[in-house]
Homo-oligomer: A and B are copies of this chain.
Amino acid sequence: MTLEVVSRSRDGRARAGVLHTPHGSIPTPVFMPVGTQASVKTVSPDELEALGAKIILGNTYHLYLRPGHDLIERGGGLHRFMSWNRATLTDSGGYQVFSLGPLRKITERGVQFRSHIDGSKHLFTPERVMEIQMAIGADIAMCFDECAPYPCDHEYARESAAMTARWAERCLAAHDGGRQALFGIVQGSVYADLRRKSAADMVSLGFPGYGIGGLSVGEPKDVMYAMLDETIPCLPEDKPRYLMGVGSPDALLEGVARGIDMFDCVLPTRIARNGTVFTRKGRIIVRDAAYAEDFRPLDPGCDCYACQNFTRAYIRHLLKAGEVLGIRLTSIHNLRHLVRMMEEMRESIIDGSFDEYRKETWRVWYNN
């Protein structure tokens, strides 16, 4: 897997590129919709293609528990199982098992946890997680890491990042290095020295791409941006950088400005199911009574299926009436909004106007 950088912003930090994968070439920067359980919630594969998604993410923890990585393997791997012919990435399950709180126990060996579905006991080790991700068969797998909580003291964060580095070595040893690319993950909480150390550890192992984890877990956004400023210069220029679990429009803009190539987040589909949609002027809650007789599209000018065919009034009615089509339409719209934003940022990097694009986008958000 290689990242071909095709253009840069004036300050050289933001970059437009192409990520070559066994399932197609992906223009970067790119936003990856999340298909936790082998389905991007409410949206079909043909709709994902139509809205411009080039790569989607599956969650290893969820797929391992249900339907099981072995079943997916027998079904021909994730792409074939879910009928998605473009690229895929699976996370390591680290974030999910650490989120289980009292249901899990961390040791050097790995993480013991209980299923949120039936309470059954399981063990994730770096080796086991590699086995699971290889069976699922995404184009990109992620190393098993510990996502430290926020806040977290320097001592804990240091030891956690060190263990993540040791686990990364075990992941590399356990991974078959076939068509699936394995990315390392930089941790280090909100400590600049630990972020730099973690990045150096990962780079010394020589991965084809690097995730930046443990951010957007509760810390202020300027702290997240400061951590990116510390981490990114430590990563190689010719490898993709993936800011994990981040997907608010402002963070996409600021992440790209700092040199991030890939993002994923459940935010667009999660808020969609609550009736909130992105517009160029900021979010609106289309469930609100204010939109009951608003016969305009969710975002005038948007080219998605929802905006090309339906009004706020109709979509609000569907949401109020509990009709599934309502959350389908808001989900499609929100995903298209982020995918188009990435396309626009990429174009602006290529044509030299990224700084203006960034300034103008912030200006419109502030004035509305």
Contact A42–B313 (Cβ < 8 Å)? no
A220 to chain B, nearest CB (A): 34
Contact A66–B324 (Cβ < 8 Å)? no
Contact B42–A324 (Cβ < 8 Å)? yes
Contact A323–B45 (Cβ < 8 Å)? no
Which stretch from A16-24, A248-256, A259-267, A314-322 is at the chain B interface?
A: A314-322
Query: Is there a chain B Cβ closer than 8 Å to A295's Cβ?
Result: yes
Contact A292–B66 (Cβ < 8 Å)? no
The distance in angstroms between the C-alpha atoms of A214 and B10, with both chains bound, is: 74
Query: Is there a chain B Cβ closer than 8 Å to A39's Cβ?
Result: yes
Contact B66–A321 (Cβ < 8 Å)? yes
For A74, the chain B residues whose CB sits under 8 A away are 293, 295
Contact A309–B42 (Cβ < 8 Å)? no
Nearest neighbor of A67 in chain B, beta-carbon distance? B317
For A45, the chain B residues whose CB sits under 8 A away are 309
Residues 317-363 (chain A) with a chain B CB within 8 angstroms: 317-318, 320-321, 323-328
Task: Please tell me which one of the listed residues B41, B293, B295, B328 contacts residue A323 in the complex, with CB atoms under 8 A apart.
Answer: B41
For A324, the chain B residues whose CB sits under 8 A away are 41-42, 324, 327-328
Contact B327–A75 (Cβ < 8 Å)? no
A278 to chain B, nearest CB (A): 20
For A323, the chain B residues whose CB sits under 8 A away are 37, 39, 41
The distance in angstroms between the C-alpha atoms of A311 and B81, with both chains bound, is: 8
| Residue interface bits A63-82, CB-to-B below 8 A is 1, else 0 | 00011000100111000011
For A311, the chain B residues whose CB sits under 8 A away are 75, 81
Q: Give the size of the chain A interface in residues (CB under 8 angstroms).
A: 38
Task: Please tell me which one of the listed residues B37, B46, B305 contacts residue A317 in the complex, with CB atoms under 8 A apart.
Answer: B37
Query: Is there a chain B Cβ closer than 8 Å to A38's Cβ?
Result: yes
Residues 15-62 (chain A) with a chain B CB within 8 angstroms: 37-39, 41-46, 62
The distance in angstroms between the C-alpha atoms of A71 and B293, with both chains bound, is: 7
Task: Please tell me which one of the listed residues B37, B43, B62, B83 contacts residue A309 in the complex, with CB atoms under 8 A apart.
Answer: B83
For A314, the chain B residues whose CB sits under 8 A away are 38, 75, 81-83
Query: Is there a chain B Cβ closer than 8 Å to A310's Cβ?
Result: yes
Nearest neighbor of A47 in chain B, beta-carbon distance? B44
Nearest neighbor of A321 in chain B, beta-carbon distance? B37
Nearest neighbor of A329 in chain B, beta-carbon distance? B44
For A321, the chain B residues whose CB sits under 8 A away are 37, 39, 62, 66-67
Known: A44-B325, A66-B320. A313 touches B83 (CB 8 A): no
Residues 270-310 (chain A) with a chain B CB within 8 angstroms: 292-293, 295, 305, 309-310
